[in-house]
Chain A
Amino acid sequence: MLSYFVHLMRAFLPLALVAGLLLPTLRCSRSGEPGRWLFGAPAAGLAAGALTYLVALKLEAVTASRATLFGLGLVATGAVAALILTRRRQEPAPFAWWPALCYQAALAAAAIFSFLAASGEEALSTTTVLNSELILNLGGILIALLCSAVLVPVAAQVAERSPRRRLSWGLFLIGTLIAVPWGADLLLALMRLERIELTSLRLSVVAKVGKYAHLAPYGELAILVALALLIWKGRQVPEHAELAALEPAPRRKTKSLILRETRWLKSALYLSVVIVGVLAFYDLYASRPPRISTPVRLTPDAAGLIRIPVAQVADGKLHRFSHLTDDGHLVRFFLINTRGAGASGPPRVGVVFDACMLCGDLGYLQNKNEIVCIACNVRIFVPSIGKEGGCNPIPLKHEANGSEIVISARELDKGARYFSEVLSIKVKDPVSGKELINLKAPFREEFKGRIYFFENEKTLEQFRATPERFAGADPARNFRVQGYRQA
């Protein structure tokens, strides 16, 4: 339910705000027959967007059509911006009308397209029979639609009471918040479709925008709230004495006007707070993937061995540990009594890397008695932990001598490339012996799956010429693509 509400709200919020804020301007710029066209444009946009999505899905060209749609939207944005900027002082001319309508249509098309694309990943219902989940999801959609619909008049009231200049600024900021993610998306699509060259600058711009794009709705609502608060601050409420001095009829009229204005402003505030609250709850809490427990960092003894008493891990719970390799890879592994807590007989401890050959290093989670692979959501049959195959955690070679589990750091190092987490540590240049920080080292080279760091190009060249001389004779590290290796 929540995810549908959030998807729809995110998609339709720009449309609702822009349509509402533009409403008074458009209404007074064209006298007579105000209503019909104002709703016609978004409606046409919705239909066009939905149709585009369906066709794109059929032709498997979602990326291309999204880019086209956003491109058209950007053109409309540009046209509106140009008109507003050039003719700031005059009343909007009739020809400003059409770009504004086109802009709304583009917003509507983009809204329905992104909603369908975002919710296309999820199923509205798991069965064809009516069930609670289906009703809740539909309820989420309806409530979000209602919120968007209410936002339109609320925004229109706020716009009506704002001075022209401030309103233009608000619209400009909202337009920017909408246009920037569109532009980034267009850029990414053009690079993916190989229409323009892929450069690291462009890619980093796209990545940065993509990372913060989910904050745009908060910004848009903040602008609405700011406009409402500015009106609140700037308005002149007559004093009691002033009111008392008025004739009864004008007094009632003034009172009623003030009451009405207060109500609109309050509803703008409350609505924004509620929407922001729900979005924030979803972003900060509900949509987060499950987290693994923090691993206990272990350091090997002088002989390069890690010893863990069996009694410590025999309680049937998942015990997660980590080991830091000398090039900064954090290797996670866990131990679990595969016989369960209350079983008879000696504990049989499964010793495994906290990574899956298929799904990668997201790790495993203990949920009551079940061990779940976070990446693919499959439950792991606990007695089989320690065996290879399927989505089982990758087995870790170890020795069990009755009361202790002995793991050598060398075996852990072999599995370092199953994990992607790298910490900043001090390393040595293998050629010159100079100390460096691994993440800041100017040069690096990979050999047998290990990363070596160099202070300058000279030592790097020396290493490249005869890597065996500097790297030592340790066997190569394993990679997931190689599959299970026989020891």
Chain B
Amino acid sequence: MFLLMLRQSFFRGRRRKLLATSTIILAASLITALMTISIDVGDKMSREMKSYGANLNLVPKSENLPLEIGGVDYNPLKGEVFLEEQDLGKMKEIFWHNNIAGYAPFLKVPAKLEGKGGAAVPIIGTYFSRLVKFAGNEEFRTGVREINPFWRVKGNWPDDSKTDEVLAGATLARKLGLKVGDRLTVRYALAPTQPEAVTVAGILSTGGAEESALVAPLALAQRIYGHTGKVQSVSVSALTVPEDRLSRKARHGADALDSLEYDRWYCTAYVSSIAHQLEEAIPSAAARPIWQVAASEGTVVNKIQLLMVVVTIAAFIASGLGISSLMVTTIMERSREIGLMKALGAADWEVYLLFLSESALVGLIGGLIGCGAGALLAQLIGLSIFGATVSFHLIVIPVNVVISILIALAGSLVPSRLITRLFPAEVLHGRK
């Protein structure tokens, strides 16, 4: 019976319902768009926090001093302080040494080519895949091939023990027209030194800064630079446990923990406690976990999130008011019908239920259409902010539908109190 009445009343006053639906569509599409972007980044961040592996970056302590002003690095020691290559073995002596899955040192050398117009090419020295020996005759294979399995090489990987083979980054190779097997002569760019002859063993694609450089065995880079046994930074790949409450607390520094918590934190393979232990093992180094998503997209998203809250509240109020005025008109128009229902024995709440479910239905439809429109809008915003499309998460739909229904209900709640004030006798006689 109730459903029958609802169906009949729903198809009346279509123009007004259309108006109400479009108000909600507008509000819902705005909220959907912002929420889609926010959730996309939020999910990526939470996946990163919950992953079992993490990368740490080890740099000399003085380089870690924040001396960046307006995006320009004023650190006078930039590129001039080094870590000792021989110290790196100490990383396998920390408590969680078994969780260090691999590491690769890096040394970036400004160099230029002899010939080809003396083009400046940075040379990045690293381990490709090298057997490292530790105390106790332990062997350990490490290098960029172990920690970056997604690096792709067309051609061959160079041999770490030779010092005349390099990889050319894909961008650089395109710019200079380098091919596998080309012979090059490189030398240090800032001072006249002995030039070195090298062969391009392969073309490297990484998706990072390495693509516009020559990647060489560490020993070769050190020889060109004239700093034997030095490295600038180390990428460490560690097996970790997902972040939780304790590790978030520890992020404010180890002092924030009491002694019991400190013990638990130290003896759990959180990325932060491994970083702490690496710093203990190599006192001249500072270790920082690299949260890739958190660093790049996190800051923008915080602002988007604030915007979303403001827009949601504004949309809530605006469309609530719109619906409210539409509802008043409806009740006034249909007052005779309400009077008749009451005269036939309907309780107040039954009349309420009819009107509220009607507007909830309007909210549902508006919310669903708004979701579709908002998903498109999100792609536009994503393209203009991040330069990439945003994947749509299904979870947005129920949240948005609930919000839309709430808007519709909130808008109709106040006017529907008019229903109680209608007396059957008065409205049926037309006296009110």
Residues of A near any B CB (own CB < 8 A) = 123, 125-136, 139, 358, 370, 376-381, 383-384, 387, 389-392
Contact = CB atoms under 8 A, between A and B. Distances in A.
B97 A390 contact: yes
Interface string B267-279: 1110000000000
A378 B99 contact: yes
Residue of A127, A377, A387, A389 contacting most chain B CB atoms (<10 Å): A127
Contacts of A125: 46
Contact of B42 (A134, A139, A378, A392): A134
Contacts of B305: 129-130
Contacts of A136: 395
A383 B101 CA distance: 9
23 contacts: A123-B248, A126-B242, A129-B298, A130-B42, A130-B308, A131-B42, A131-B43, A131-B45, A132-B395, A133-B46, A134-B42, A135-B399, A358-B267, A378-B239, A378-B240, A378-B268, A381-B99, A381-B100, A387-B98, A389-B98, A390-B99, A391-B98, A392-B98
A392 to B, nearest CB: 5
Contacts of A389: 95, 97-98
B245 interface: yes
Contacts of B428: none
Contacts of A139: 398
Nearest to B239: A379
Given A378-B240, A379-B239, A130 B39 contact: yes
Contact of A376 (B42, B241, B393): B241
Interface in B95-145: 95-101, 138, 140
Contacts of B138: 387
Given A127-B294, A130-B35, A380 B301 contact: no
A328 to B, nearest CB: 31
A381 B52 CA distance: 11
Most buried by A among B38, B49, B99, B140: B99
Given A378-B239, A381-B101, A132 B43 contact: yes
A390 B98 contact: yes
B239 to A, nearest CB: 4
B239 A380 contact: yes
The 5 closest A-B pairs by CB, nearest first: A131-B42, A129-B42, A384-B98, A126-B46, A390-B98
B303 to A, nearest CB: 11
Decide if the interface of chain B is mainly helix, strand, loop or mixed.
helix
B157 to A, nearest CB: 16
A129 B302 contact: yes
B40 to A, nearest CB: 9
A128 to B, nearest CB: 8
A383 B398 CA distance: 46
Contacts of A129: 38, 41-42, 45, 298, 301-302, 305
A390 B35 CA distance: 42
Contact of A126 (B49, B97, B240, B398): B49
A450 B11 CA distance: 84
Nearest to A134: B42
A133 B98 CA distance: 31
B96 to A, nearest CB: 5
Contact of B242 (A134, A377, A387, A390): A377
Given A123-B245, A132-B393, A378 B269 contact: yes
A126 B43 CA distance: 9
Interface in B251-277: 267-269
A205 B269 CA distance: 38
Contacts of A133: 43, 46
A contact face: mostly helix, strand, loop, or mixed:
loop
Q: Output the residue of A126, A130, A392 with the most chain B CB within 10 A.
A: A130
Contact of B49 (A127, A130, A379, A390): A127
Contacts of B242: 126, 377
Interface string B361-381: 000000000000000000000
Given A135-B399, A391-B98, 11 more contacts: A127-B45, A127-B298, A130-B35, A130-B38, A133-B43, A139-B398, A376-B269, A381-B98, A381-B239, A390-B95, A392-B98
A131 B98 contact: no
Contact of A132 (B39, B49, B96): B39
Contacts of B49: 126-127
A148 to B, nearest CB: 18
Nearest to A370: B52
Contacts of B244: 123
Interface in B287-307: 294, 298, 301-302, 305
Contacts of B245: 123
B196 interface: no
Contact of A390 (B45, B269, B398): B269
A382 B137 CA distance: 18
A114 to B, nearest CB: 19
A389 B134 CA distance: 15
B50 interface: yes
B243 interface: yes
Q: Which of B39, B243, B298 has the most CB of A within 10 A?
A: B39
B286 to A, nearest CB: 23
A129 B303 CA distance: 10
Nearest to A385: B98
> Which of A376, A377, A381 gathers the greatest number of chain B CB atoms within 10 Å?
A381
A127 B98 contact: no
A391 B95 CA distance: 9
Nearest to B40: A131
Contacts of B39: 130-132, 135
B293 to A, nearest CB: 9
A376 B267 CA distance: 10
From A131, A383, A390, residue with most partner B Cβ within 10 Å = A131
Nearest to A384: B98
Contacts of B96: 390
Contacts of A381: 98-101, 239
Given A125-B46, A127-B45, A387-B138, A377 B241 contact: yes
A240 B308 CA distance: 60
A127 B52 contact: no
A84 to B, nearest CB: 32
Contacts of B95: 389-390
A102 to B, nearest CB: 31
A139 B50 CA distance: 21
B39 to A, nearest CB: 6
Contacts of A131: 39, 42-43, 45-46
B67 to A, nearest CB: 28
Contacts of A392: 98
B52 to A, nearest CB: 5
B240 A135 contact: no
Nearest to B243: A126
A253 B193 CA distance: 106
Interface string B23-39: 00000000000010011
Interface in B7-35: 35
Contacts of B98: 380-381, 384, 387, 389-392
B304 to A, nearest CB: 9
Contacts of A378: 99, 239-241, 268-269
A179 B12 CA distance: 55
Contacts of A135: 39, 395, 399
B50 A126 contact: yes
B113 to A, nearest CB: 38
Contact of A127 (B35, B46, B97, B393): B46
A130 B301 CA distance: 9
A115 B38 CA distance: 29
Nearest to A136: B395
Contacts of A358: 267
A123 B95 CA distance: 27
